[in-house]
Amino acid sequence: MTRAPEISLYLRNFSDDPAFDWAATLDMARAMDAAGVDRVVVSDHLVFGENLDAYADPTIGGTAGGKQPTGPDGFWLDPLIYLTTVAATTTRIRLGTAILLAALRRPAALAKQLATMDVMSGGRIDLGVGVGWQREEYEAAGLSFEDRGRLLDHTLEVCQALWTQQRATYDSPELTFDGIHQMPKPVQPGGIPIWVSGTVNKRVARRLSKFGYRWIPWGPAITDLQGAIPAMKQAIRDVGGDPAGLQVQGTALLRRDAEGGIDVDASVAPVGHLVACGATEVRFTGPLPRPETAVEQLSDLVAAFREIAHGAV
């Protein structure tokens, strides 16, 4: 049975404005929930250094032409605490990170936090992860930036062991334990779904093969799903995986109409192409509607998305 494409939206958990109305973002989350949006996602930064131009350097994990949305003193709410607040004020929408710099957290503590969130939300948590681009975050956490890929894998290995094993055992160069019990387990069978962000390369292909076939494209792959998805599937085969069930996030922009609301037709125009290329989810970025019209406009967006996406499957 073909999986129905899903729609997700970013919700801002960052701002340069010290007086930013964070409560209004919770109102927006409730509007997304009421409108039928499948998933809301938030970003992550633990600290900032002062070399923000590194965000545009693909050789260290940035994206060419990219620009960090705040300065070094921008206000960034912790994504897990923030999503816990969103979970408490919504009923059905899934709650995700896009992405969490998971390697910066101690693995056993992160596993406990995420399992608790999953239990309290009724099984609505998705974990999007990546290695990030900023050396200073790893330095502030006392970790090696050069080893960030292995640190991420280690973190996910420990989380999955604690989520799925009643009497957990783990052995690696970084950490060894045996007979460890961590409860509660996540509500979702097999643990919390993991989405891996990255470009098309063998390291990311191995990560997808190991932790679940859910891909958040990064870099040039964002704008070239038609070429990137077959390339990633081949990369997965090359490392011994099976890409048949690969889930892929596509990206589209929310377009404004003349009144400052959502131009639904313009916003959903790329959806058919993205789904035809293999996207199983389309994530919309950009300015959200005004609070007083949010439920109505987001409902129209969801309805238009589903009509186009289902027809393209």
* Spatial CA neighbour of 165 closest among 177, 153, 155, 154: 177
The b/e string for 285-298 (b: 16+ C-beta within 10 A; e otherwise) is: eeebbeeeebbebb
pLDDT, tens digit only, all 313 positions of the chain: 567 999 999 999 999 999 999 999 999 999 999 999 999 999 999 999 999 999 999 999 998 889 999 999 999 999 999 999 999 999 999 999 999 999 999 999 999 999 999 999 999 999 999 999 999 999 999 999 999 999 999 999 999 999 999 999 999 999 999 999 999 999 999 999 999 999 999 999 999 999 999 999 999 999 999 999 999 999 999 999 999 999 999 999 999 998 889 999 999 999 999 999 999 999 999 999 998 999 999 999 999 999 999 876 6
CATH topology for the 6-247 domain: TIM Barrel (3.20.20)
